[in-house]
Amino acid sequence: MDRQQRTLDVVIALNQFQNQELPRYKFLENVCEYFDFIKSEELDDADYRFLIHLSSKVGVPHYYDILHKFNEDKLQLKNEENVKLDVISALIFESTLYTNETSKLHLYQKEVLDLFKLGKLNRYFLSASTSFGKTHLVYEIINKMNYKNVILIFPSIALLSENLSRIKEGKIKLSNDFKIHTLSDSEINPEESNILIFTPERYLSYLDKNKELEVDFIFVDEVYKIDNSYIIDDESKENERDIAYRMSLFFGLTTNVNVDLFIAGPYIDVFEKTEKNYNPSFDLFLEDFKIEKVLLNEYEIVKVNKYSADIKIQTNFDSLDVNLKGKGTKKAKIQELFDRILLQNENAIIYCNTKSNAEKVAREYERTEISTENFSDFLHHLTTTFDERWIVIKSLKKGIGVHHGVVPKYIQKEIIDLFNQAENNLNILSATTTITEGVNTTAKNMIVYKSRKGGGQHIKPLLKFDAKNIAGRAGRFMEHYVGRVITLDNEFLEVIEQEGKPIEHKNYDIETSKNEVEFEMTKAEYLDDRTKQQIEELKKLQEQFEIPDHIINQFKVISKRQKIDIYKDISQLTSTQISLIKKLISSLNSTTMSLDKDGFQIVLNIILPQVESEALKHYITNSFTDKFNQKTYSILYIALNKYISNGFKGNYEYFLERTISKKKIELESKLKKESDKTGKKMKGININLNNDEISICVDSAMRETAELIYNTFKYQLVKYLGVFNLMYKYYISKTESKPLEETSGIDILLIKLEYNAFSEEAKIASDYGVPNKIVAYYDAKDPEQAKSIRNSFDNYEKKIFEKVRNIIAQ
* pLDDT for position 236: 35
How large is the average pLDDT for residues 47-63?
94
* pLDDT for position 708: 96
Q: Is residue 234's pLDDT more than 60? A: no
- The DSSP secondary structure of 250-318, one letter per residue, reads HHHHHHSTT-EEEEEEES-----TTSTT--THHHHHHHHTTPEEEEETT--SSEEEEEE----SEEEET
d(CA 213, CA 245): 20
How large is the average pLDDT for residues 510-533?
92
Confidence of residue 626 (pLDDT cuts 50, 70, 90): very high
Of 190-204, 218-232, 341-355, the least confident? 218-232
Give yes or no for a contact between 432 and 402, defined as CB atoms under 8 angstroms apart: no
* pLDDT for position 688: 86
The verdict on domain 303-497 having CATH code 3.40.1280.10 is no
CATH fold, domain 107-296, is Rossmann fold (3.40.50)
Q: Is residue 352's pLDDT more than 60? A: yes
Beta-bridge partners for 486:
307, 447
Query: What confidence tens digit (pLDDT) does each residue in 558-577 have?
Result: 999 999 999 999 999 999 99
How large is the average pLDDT for residues 386-394?
97
d(CA 224, CA 264): 8
What is the pTM (predicted TM-score) of this model?
0.94
Two domains, one topology: 107-296 and 303-497: yes
Share of the chain above pLDDT 70, in %: 96
Query: What confidence tens digit (pLDDT) does each residue in 549-562 have?
Result: 999 999 999 999 99
What sign does the CA torsion over 687, 690, 695, 696 have? negative
Give yes or no for a contact between 193 and 179, defined as CB atoms under 8 angstroms apart: yes
Give yes or no for a contact between 398 and 420, defined as CB atoms under 8 angstroms apart: no
Share of the chain above pLDDT 90, in %: 83
Give yes or no for a contact between 409 and 711, defined as CB atoms under 8 angstroms apart: no
CA angle 181, 184, 187 (to 5 degrees): 60
Query: What confidence tens digit (pLDDT) does each residue in 722-740 have?
Result: 999 999 999 999 999 999 9
Domain ranges of the chain: 3-95, 107-296, 303-497, 757-810
d(CA 619, CA 773): 28
Give yes or no for a contact between 240 and 436, defined as CB atoms under 8 angstroms apart: no
* pLDDT for position 82: 59
Q: Is residue 387's pLDDT more than 60? A: yes
d(CA 735, CA 572): 12
Please report, for residues 337, 360, 430, 431, the alpha-carbon distance to residue 356 in angstroms, rounded to integers and kept in the order given.
21, 6, 11, 10
* pLDDT for position 86: 73
d(CA 708, CA 633): 18
Beta-bridge partners for 126:
264, 294
User: How are beta strands 314-317 and 320-323 bridged, if at all?
Assistant: antiparallel
* pLDDT for position 237: 38
**Could you tell me which residues come within 8 angstroms of residue 773 by beta carbon, excluding any fewer than 6 positions away?**
789, 792, 793, 797
Q: Is residue 414's pLDDT more than 80? A: yes
3-state SS class at 351? strand
Q: Is residue 748's pLDDT more than 50? A: yes
Q: Is residue 411's pLDDT more than 50? A: yes
Query: What confidence tens digit (pLDDT) does each residue in 300-351 have?
Result: 999 999 999 999 999 999 889 999 999 999 999 999 999 999 999 999 999 9
* pLDDT for position 83: 63
Closest CA relative to residue 715, chosen from 635, 645, 613, 638: 613
